[in-house]
Amino acid sequence: MTRRETLKRGGRGLILLAVMIFSAGSAWAGEAPLPLPRVAILAMGGTIAGQGASATATTQYTAGVLDVGALVASVPGLEKVARISAEQVANIDSAHITNEHLLKLARRVNALTAAGAVDGIVVTHGTDTLEETAYFLNLVVEADAPVVLTGSMRPATAISADGPLNLYNAVVLAASPQARGQGVLVAMNERIDASRDVTKTHTTNVDTFRSPEFGCLGYVIDGKVHLLRAQTKRHTVRSEFRLGKLEKLPRVEVLYGHGNDSGDLVDAAVRAGAQGIVHAGVGDGGAFPATYAALKEARAKGVVVVRASRVGSGPVAPNEDDRKDGMVTSDTLNPQKARILLMLALTRTTDLAEIRRIFTEY
Ligand code: ASP
Protein backbone atom coordinates (compact mmCIF):
# COMPACT_ATOMS: atom_id res chain seq x y z
CA MET A 1 0.00 0.00 0.00
CA THR A 2 1.36 3.46 -0.88
CA ARG A 3 1.72 6.12 1.75
CA ARG A 4 -1.02 8.14 0.02
CA GLU A 5 -3.43 5.18 0.35
CA THR A 6 -2.40 4.60 3.93
CA LEU A 7 -2.97 8.27 4.66
CA LYS A 8 -6.44 8.16 3.09
CA ARG A 9 -7.40 5.11 5.11
CA GLY A 10 -6.07 6.44 8.38
CA GLY A 11 -6.17 9.76 10.11
CA ARG A 12 -9.08 9.08 12.47
CA GLY A 13 -9.31 8.38 16.12
CA LEU A 14 -5.80 9.14 17.36
CA ILE A 15 -5.97 10.48 20.88
CA LEU A 16 -3.35 13.10 21.33
CA LEU A 17 -2.32 13.40 24.91
CA ALA A 18 0.38 15.96 24.56
CA VAL A 19 1.63 17.52 21.38
CA MET A 20 0.58 17.79 17.74
CA ILE A 21 2.69 19.59 15.25
CA PHE A 22 1.49 19.96 11.69
CA SER A 23 3.50 20.87 8.68
CA ALA A 24 3.44 20.17 4.96
CA GLY A 25 6.16 18.53 2.92
CA SER A 26 7.58 19.94 -0.27
CA ALA A 27 6.00 19.12 -3.65
CA TRP A 28 6.65 19.58 -7.32
CA ALA A 29 5.11 22.73 -8.80
CA GLY A 30 1.39 22.25 -9.46
CA GLU A 31 1.06 19.14 -7.24
CA ALA A 32 -0.67 19.30 -3.85
CA PRO A 33 1.95 18.93 -1.11
CA LEU A 34 2.04 15.46 0.37
CA PRO A 35 1.39 15.70 4.11
CA LEU A 36 4.28 14.64 6.29
CA PRO A 37 4.15 11.12 7.74
CA ARG A 38 2.42 10.73 11.09
CA VAL A 39 4.73 9.50 13.84
CA ALA A 40 3.53 8.72 17.36
CA ILE A 41 6.08 9.00 20.15
CA LEU A 42 5.30 6.69 23.07
CA ALA A 43 7.38 7.59 26.10
CA MET A 44 8.38 5.03 28.73
CA GLY A 45 10.89 7.12 30.73
CA GLY A 46 14.59 6.37 31.14
CA THR A 47 17.62 8.60 31.03
CA ILE A 48 16.37 10.41 27.96
CA ALA A 49 13.76 11.82 30.35
CA GLY A 50 16.28 12.07 33.18
CA GLN A 51 17.24 15.05 35.29
CA GLY A 52 20.50 15.60 37.15
CA ALA A 53 21.48 18.23 39.71
CA SER A 54 24.05 19.80 37.38
CA ALA A 55 25.12 19.84 33.73
CA THR A 56 28.17 17.71 34.58
CA ALA A 57 26.15 14.98 36.31
CA THR A 58 26.18 12.26 33.67
CA THR A 59 25.70 9.19 35.86
CA GLN A 60 24.11 10.76 38.99
CA TYR A 61 20.55 11.68 38.04
CA THR A 62 16.97 10.50 38.25
CA ALA A 63 15.63 8.68 35.21
CA GLY A 64 12.05 9.15 34.04
CA VAL A 65 11.34 12.71 35.21
CA LEU A 66 10.60 14.83 32.14
CA ASP A 67 7.37 14.22 30.32
CA VAL A 68 7.05 13.44 26.64
CA GLY A 69 6.08 17.02 25.79
CA ALA A 70 9.45 18.22 27.14
CA LEU A 71 11.29 15.54 25.13
CA VAL A 72 9.59 16.61 21.90
CA ALA A 73 10.21 20.28 22.67
CA SER A 74 13.95 19.61 23.09
CA VAL A 75 14.38 18.52 19.47
CA PRO A 76 14.60 21.31 16.92
CA GLY A 77 13.25 20.58 13.46
CA LEU A 78 11.06 17.57 14.29
CA GLU A 79 8.07 19.36 12.77
CA LYS A 80 9.82 19.27 9.39
CA VAL A 81 10.19 15.48 9.56
CA ALA A 82 6.77 14.29 10.69
CA ARG A 83 3.44 15.19 12.19
CA ILE A 84 4.10 14.21 15.78
CA SER A 85 1.67 12.93 18.36
CA ALA A 86 3.00 12.09 21.79
CA GLU A 87 1.83 9.90 24.63
CA GLN A 88 3.19 9.07 28.04
CA VAL A 89 2.83 5.31 28.55
CA ALA A 90 5.05 5.19 31.65
CA ASN A 91 7.80 7.34 33.14
CA ILE A 92 10.19 4.99 34.87
CA ASP A 93 13.76 3.78 35.04
CA SER A 94 13.83 0.82 32.65
CA ALA A 95 15.21 -1.42 35.41
CA HIS A 96 11.63 -1.23 36.75
CA ILE A 97 9.94 -2.50 33.60
CA THR A 98 7.48 -5.32 34.31
CA ASN A 99 5.79 -7.80 31.99
CA GLU A 100 2.65 -5.71 32.44
CA HIS A 101 4.48 -2.67 31.00
CA LEU A 102 5.52 -4.80 28.01
CA LEU A 103 1.93 -5.90 27.40
CA LYS A 104 0.56 -2.37 27.82
CA LEU A 105 3.07 -0.86 25.41
CA ALA A 106 2.62 -3.58 22.79
CA ARG A 107 -1.16 -3.20 22.97
CA ARG A 108 -0.85 0.54 22.41
CA VAL A 109 1.45 0.04 19.41
CA ASN A 110 -0.97 -2.50 17.94
CA ALA A 111 -3.99 -0.25 18.57
CA LEU A 112 -2.36 2.74 16.85
CA THR A 113 -1.29 0.75 13.81
CA ALA A 114 -4.59 -1.18 13.56
CA ALA A 115 -6.52 2.09 13.57
CA GLY A 116 -4.35 3.32 10.69
CA ALA A 117 -3.64 6.29 12.94
CA VAL A 118 0.11 6.44 12.34
CA ASP A 119 2.75 5.82 9.70
CA GLY A 120 5.42 5.02 12.26
CA ILE A 121 6.01 4.77 16.00
CA VAL A 122 8.94 5.81 18.18
CA VAL A 123 9.27 4.46 21.70
CA THR A 124 11.54 6.37 24.06
CA HIS A 125 12.85 4.01 26.73
CA GLY A 126 15.55 3.59 29.33
CA THR A 127 18.59 1.94 27.82
CA ASP A 128 19.12 -0.70 30.51
CA THR A 129 16.33 -2.99 29.31
CA LEU A 130 15.60 -1.34 25.97
CA GLU A 131 16.77 -4.40 24.04
CA GLU A 132 14.28 -6.64 25.86
CA THR A 133 11.31 -4.37 25.20
CA ALA A 134 12.39 -3.91 21.57
CA TYR A 135 12.65 -7.66 21.01
CA PHE A 136 9.29 -8.27 22.72
CA LEU A 137 7.65 -5.74 20.38
CA ASN A 138 9.47 -7.33 17.43
CA LEU A 139 7.64 -10.57 18.23
CA VAL A 140 4.15 -9.27 18.99
CA VAL A 141 3.59 -6.16 16.87
CA GLU A 142 1.04 -7.03 14.21
CA ALA A 143 1.88 -4.41 11.59
CA ASP A 144 4.75 -3.68 9.25
CA ALA A 145 4.75 0.05 10.07
CA PRO A 146 8.15 1.16 11.37
CA VAL A 147 8.55 0.86 15.14
CA VAL A 148 11.77 2.36 16.47
CA LEU A 149 13.12 2.40 20.02
CA THR A 150 15.52 5.00 21.27
CA GLY A 151 16.87 6.40 24.51
CA SER A 152 19.94 8.16 25.75
CA MET A 153 22.94 7.56 27.94
CA ARG A 154 23.19 11.10 29.27
CA PRO A 155 20.28 12.75 31.05
CA ALA A 156 18.47 15.63 29.37
CA THR A 157 20.19 18.08 31.75
CA ALA A 158 23.78 17.01 30.90
CA ILE A 159 26.31 18.78 28.71
CA SER A 160 26.18 17.08 25.31
CA ALA A 161 23.02 15.15 26.14
CA ASP A 162 22.56 12.52 23.46
CA GLY A 163 18.78 12.30 23.77
CA PRO A 164 17.68 15.00 21.31
CA LEU A 165 19.72 13.69 18.36
CA ASN A 166 18.72 10.11 19.14
CA LEU A 167 15.07 11.12 19.21
CA TYR A 168 15.42 13.11 16.00
CA ASN A 169 17.06 10.16 14.23
CA ALA A 170 14.44 7.75 15.57
CA VAL A 171 11.66 9.93 14.17
CA VAL A 172 13.47 10.20 10.82
CA LEU A 173 13.68 6.39 10.75
CA ALA A 174 10.07 5.83 11.86
CA ALA A 175 8.90 8.26 9.17
CA SER A 176 10.90 6.53 6.47
CA PRO A 177 9.29 4.07 4.02
CA GLN A 178 12.63 2.23 4.10
CA ALA A 179 11.95 1.12 7.68
CA ARG A 180 8.60 -0.46 6.82
CA GLY A 181 8.64 -4.25 7.14
CA GLN A 182 12.08 -4.29 8.80
CA GLY A 183 10.86 -5.41 12.22
CA VAL A 184 11.31 -3.36 15.36
CA LEU A 185 14.47 -1.29 15.12
CA VAL A 186 16.72 0.51 17.57
CA ALA A 187 18.14 3.93 16.69
CA MET A 188 20.97 5.01 18.99
CA ASN A 189 24.10 7.04 18.37
CA GLU A 190 23.45 7.32 14.61
CA ARG A 191 23.21 3.54 14.14
CA ILE A 192 20.20 1.45 13.17
CA ASP A 193 20.17 -2.01 14.74
CA ALA A 194 17.83 -4.98 14.64
CA SER A 195 16.01 -5.40 17.94
CA ARG A 196 16.81 -9.11 17.86
CA ASP A 197 20.56 -8.66 17.72
CA VAL A 198 21.33 -5.42 19.48
CA THR A 199 22.56 -5.28 23.06
CA LYS A 200 23.87 -2.70 25.48
CA THR A 201 27.64 -3.19 25.65
CA HIS A 202 28.94 -0.31 27.78
CA THR A 203 27.69 0.83 31.16
CA THR A 204 28.10 4.58 30.66
CA ASN A 205 29.36 5.50 27.19
CA VAL A 206 27.02 6.91 24.54
CA ASP A 207 28.44 4.39 22.06
CA THR A 208 26.91 1.42 23.79
CA PHE A 209 24.35 -0.28 21.52
CA ARG A 210 25.96 -2.88 19.28
CA SER A 211 24.95 -6.04 17.47
CA PRO A 212 27.94 -8.30 18.19
CA GLU A 213 28.87 -10.64 15.31
CA PHE A 214 26.19 -9.18 13.04
CA GLY A 215 26.82 -5.44 13.00
CA CYS A 216 24.26 -2.70 12.60
CA LEU A 217 21.68 -2.59 9.82
CA GLY A 218 22.59 0.95 8.84
CA TYR A 219 22.83 4.56 9.93
CA VAL A 220 20.85 7.77 10.21
CA ILE A 221 23.15 10.60 9.21
CA ASP A 222 22.23 14.21 8.55
CA GLY A 223 18.56 13.29 8.73
CA LYS A 224 18.86 10.58 6.06
CA VAL A 225 18.31 6.86 6.48
CA HIS A 226 21.02 4.55 5.13
CA LEU A 227 19.75 1.00 5.44
CA LEU A 228 22.36 -1.51 4.31
CA ARG A 229 21.06 -4.90 5.42
CA ALA A 230 17.89 -6.61 6.65
CA GLN A 231 17.19 -9.16 9.36
CA THR A 232 15.99 -12.52 8.13
CA LYS A 233 14.46 -13.98 11.28
CA ARG A 234 10.66 -13.95 11.71
CA HIS A 235 9.16 -10.82 13.23
CA THR A 236 6.02 -8.63 13.42
CA VAL A 237 3.59 -9.59 10.63
CA ARG A 238 5.40 -12.91 10.10
CA SER A 239 5.42 -13.76 13.80
CA GLU A 240 3.11 -16.43 15.24
CA PHE A 241 2.88 -14.63 18.60
CA ARG A 242 -0.29 -12.65 19.18
CA LEU A 243 -1.30 -11.03 22.45
CA GLY A 244 -5.05 -11.51 22.09
CA LYS A 245 -6.50 -11.34 25.56
CA LEU A 246 -3.27 -12.41 27.25
CA GLU A 247 -3.04 -10.73 30.67
CA LYS A 248 0.02 -12.38 32.12
CA LEU A 249 3.25 -13.82 30.76
CA PRO A 250 4.63 -17.11 32.09
CA ARG A 251 7.37 -16.84 34.70
CA VAL A 252 10.84 -17.37 33.23
CA GLU A 253 14.01 -16.79 35.24
CA VAL A 254 17.55 -16.14 33.98
CA LEU A 255 20.29 -17.77 36.08
CA TYR A 256 23.92 -16.77 35.62
CA GLY A 257 26.44 -19.60 35.46
CA HIS A 258 29.92 -19.57 37.00
CA GLY A 259 32.62 -21.84 38.42
CA ASN A 260 31.87 -23.42 41.82
CA ASP A 261 28.16 -22.95 41.13
CA SER A 262 25.43 -25.01 42.82
CA GLY A 263 21.97 -26.17 41.94
CA ASP A 264 20.41 -24.10 44.74
CA LEU A 265 19.17 -21.20 42.61
CA VAL A 266 17.76 -23.59 40.02
CA ASP A 267 15.83 -25.37 42.79
CA ALA A 268 14.68 -22.01 44.17
CA ALA A 269 13.41 -20.92 40.75
CA VAL A 270 11.45 -24.14 40.37
CA ARG A 271 9.99 -23.81 43.87
CA ALA A 272 9.01 -20.20 43.10
CA GLY A 273 6.95 -21.41 40.15
CA ALA A 274 9.20 -20.74 37.14
CA GLN A 275 7.82 -22.39 34.02
CA GLY A 276 11.06 -21.71 32.21
CA ILE A 277 14.71 -21.20 33.12
CA VAL A 278 17.31 -19.59 30.88
CA HIS A 279 20.76 -20.60 32.02
CA ALA A 280 23.36 -18.01 31.02
CA GLY A 281 26.05 -20.62 30.80
CA VAL A 282 29.81 -20.44 30.46
CA GLY A 283 31.33 -20.64 26.97
CA ASP A 284 28.85 -22.09 24.53
CA GLY A 285 26.29 -22.68 27.26
CA GLY A 286 28.12 -24.97 29.65
CA ALA A 287 27.11 -25.46 33.29
CA PHE A 288 28.84 -26.51 36.51
CA PRO A 289 28.00 -30.21 37.15
CA ALA A 290 25.80 -29.59 40.21
CA THR A 291 23.94 -26.86 38.30
CA TYR A 292 23.47 -29.07 35.28
CA ALA A 293 22.08 -31.84 37.50
CA ALA A 294 19.58 -29.37 38.97
CA LEU A 295 18.62 -28.16 35.50
CA LYS A 296 17.98 -31.76 34.44
CA GLU A 297 15.79 -32.25 37.51
CA ALA A 298 13.92 -29.04 36.71
CA ARG A 299 13.31 -30.37 33.21
CA ALA A 300 12.04 -33.66 34.65
CA LYS A 301 9.47 -31.60 36.58
CA GLY A 302 8.25 -30.00 33.34
CA VAL A 303 10.22 -26.74 33.45
CA VAL A 304 11.58 -25.71 30.03
CA VAL A 305 15.33 -25.09 30.25
CA VAL A 306 17.16 -23.01 27.66
CA ARG A 307 20.94 -23.13 27.50
CA ALA A 308 22.22 -19.66 26.59
CA SER A 309 25.64 -18.09 27.04
CA ARG A 310 27.09 -15.35 29.20
CA VAL A 311 29.84 -14.73 26.61
CA GLY A 312 28.05 -11.99 24.69
CA SER A 313 28.28 -13.26 21.14
CA GLY A 314 28.16 -16.47 19.16
CA PRO A 315 25.67 -19.32 18.97
CA VAL A 316 24.72 -22.00 21.47
CA ALA A 317 23.97 -24.97 19.25
CA PRO A 318 22.19 -28.21 20.20
CA ASN A 319 24.27 -31.29 21.05
CA GLU A 320 23.58 -34.95 21.88
CA ASP A 321 23.10 -34.22 25.62
CA ASP A 322 20.44 -31.63 24.81
CA ARG A 323 18.42 -34.25 22.97
CA LYS A 324 18.89 -36.77 25.81
CA ASP A 325 18.32 -34.32 28.66
CA GLY A 326 15.53 -32.27 27.08
CA MET A 327 17.38 -28.97 26.84
CA VAL A 328 16.63 -26.18 24.37
CA THR A 329 19.43 -23.99 23.00
CA SER A 330 19.29 -20.23 22.53
CA ASP A 331 20.82 -19.99 19.04
CA THR A 332 22.34 -16.48 18.97
CA LEU A 333 19.91 -14.88 21.43
CA ASN A 334 21.50 -13.48 24.54
CA PRO A 335 20.03 -14.71 27.85
CA GLN A 336 17.74 -11.72 28.42
CA LYS A 337 16.26 -12.06 24.93
CA ALA A 338 15.99 -15.84 25.31
CA ARG A 339 13.82 -15.08 28.34
CA ILE A 340 11.50 -12.89 26.22
CA LEU A 341 11.17 -15.56 23.52
CA LEU A 342 10.67 -18.37 26.02
CA MET A 343 7.89 -16.45 27.80
CA LEU A 344 6.08 -15.99 24.50
CA ALA A 345 6.75 -19.58 23.41
CA LEU A 346 5.24 -20.82 26.69
CA THR A 347 2.04 -18.88 26.00
CA ARG A 348 1.51 -21.25 23.06
CA THR A 349 3.07 -24.58 23.88
CA THR A 350 5.14 -26.67 26.28
CA ASP A 351 6.09 -29.12 23.52
CA LEU A 352 9.88 -29.30 23.33
CA ALA A 353 10.06 -29.86 19.58
CA GLU A 354 7.90 -26.80 19.05
CA ILE A 355 9.95 -24.66 21.43
CA ARG A 356 13.15 -25.79 19.70
CA ARG A 357 11.63 -24.81 16.35
CA ILE A 358 10.71 -21.40 17.77
CA PHE A 359 14.28 -20.86 18.94
CA THR A 360 15.58 -21.49 15.43
CA GLU A 361 13.00 -19.31 13.66
CA TYR A 362 13.04 -16.13 15.79
N1 ASP B 1 18.81 3.54 34.21
C2 ASP B 1 18.41 4.13 32.97
C3 ASP B 1 17.23 3.37 32.41
O4 ASP B 1 17.42 2.34 31.83
C5 ASP B 1 19.54 4.14 32.02
C6 ASP B 1 19.27 4.78 30.70
O7 ASP B 1 18.15 5.04 30.30
O8 ASP B 1 20.27 5.04 29.99
O9 ASP B 1 16.12 3.80 32.59
Q: What CATH code is carried by the domain that includes residue 283?
A: 3.40.50.40
* DSSP H stretches of helix in 146-189: 163-174
pLDDT tens-digit profile of 211-249? 999 999 999 999 999 999 999 999 999 999 999 999 999
Q: What is the pLDDT of residue 34?
A: 84
Calpha distance 75→187 (Å, rounded) = 15
- Residues 6 or more apart whose CB falls under 8 angstroms from that of 98 comprise none
Nearest to 174 by CA among 115, 112, 130, 233: 112
Q: Which of 128, 132, 200 to mutate to test the pocket of ligand 1 (most atoms within 8 A of CB)?
A: 128
pLDDT tens-digit profile of 12-59? 333 333 344 434 444 455 677 789 999 999 999 999 999 999 999 999
Calpha distance 279→192 (Å, rounded) = 29
**Residue at which a domain ends, from 209, 238, 267:** 238
Q: What is the pLDDT of residue 29?
A: 58
DSSP 8-state secondary structure symbol assigned to residue 32? P
pLDDT tens-digit profile of 137-192? 999 999 999 999 999 999 999 999 999 999 999 999 999 999 999 999 999 999 99
Of all residues in the chain, the percent with pLDDT exceeding 90 is 91
Q: What is the pLDDT of residue 30?
A: 65
- The residue segments making up the domain with residue 142 are 38-238
**Same domain? 45 vs 167:** yes
pLDDT tens-digit profile of 314-353? 999 999 999 999 999 999 999 999 999 999 999 999 999 9
pTM, rounded to two decimals = 0.92
pLDDT tens-digit profile of 250-281? 999 999 999 999 999 999 999 999 999 999 99
Cα distances from 45 to residues 69, 95, 176, 308, in angstroms, run 12, 11, 24, 29
Atom of ligand 1 nearest to the CA of 50: 7
* 28 sits in which H/E element: none
Are 101 and 137 contacting, i.e. CB atoms less than 8 angstroms apart?
Answer: no
**Same domain? 257 vs 288:** yes
**Residue at which a domain ends, from 171, 204, 238:** 238
User: Which of helix, strand or coil describes residue 210?
Assistant: strand
Q: What is the pLDDT of residue 8?
A: 41
**Same domain? 232 vs 256:** no
Does ligand 1 lie within 6 Å of residue 127's CB atom?
yes
Atom of ligand 1 nearest to the CA of 48: 7
Total number of domains in the chain:
2
pLDDT tens-digit profile of 185-212? 999 999 999 999 999 999 999 999 999 9
How far away, in angstroms, is 126 Cα from ligand 1 center? 4
More confident residue, 6 or 317: 317
**Same domain? 268 vs 233:** no
For residue 8, tell me if it sits in a domain.
no
Calpha distance 326→19 (Å, rounded) = 52
Atom 1 in ligand 1: which residue has the minimum CA distance?
Answer: 93
Cα distances from 130 to residues 97, 134, 136, 190, 336, in angstroms, run 10, 6, 10, 16, 11
Nearest to 298 by CA among 322, 319, 277, 329: 277
User: Which of helix, strand or coil describes residue 8?
Assistant: helix
**Same domain? 201 vs 320:** no
For residue 24, tell me if it sits in a domain.
no
- Give one word for 357, left, alpha or beta, with left for phi > 0 and alpha for psi -120 to 50: alpha
pLDDT tier, 3 (very low <50, low <70, confident <90, very high otherwise): very low
* 87 sits in which H/E element: strand 83-92
Contacts made by residues 217-220, CB under 8 angstroms, sequence distance 24+: 217/182, 217/185, 217/192, 217/193, 218/191, 218/192, 219/190, 219/191, 219/192, 220/169, 220/172, 220/173, 220/187, 220/190, 220/192
Rounded to the nearest integer, the mean pLDDT of the chain is 93
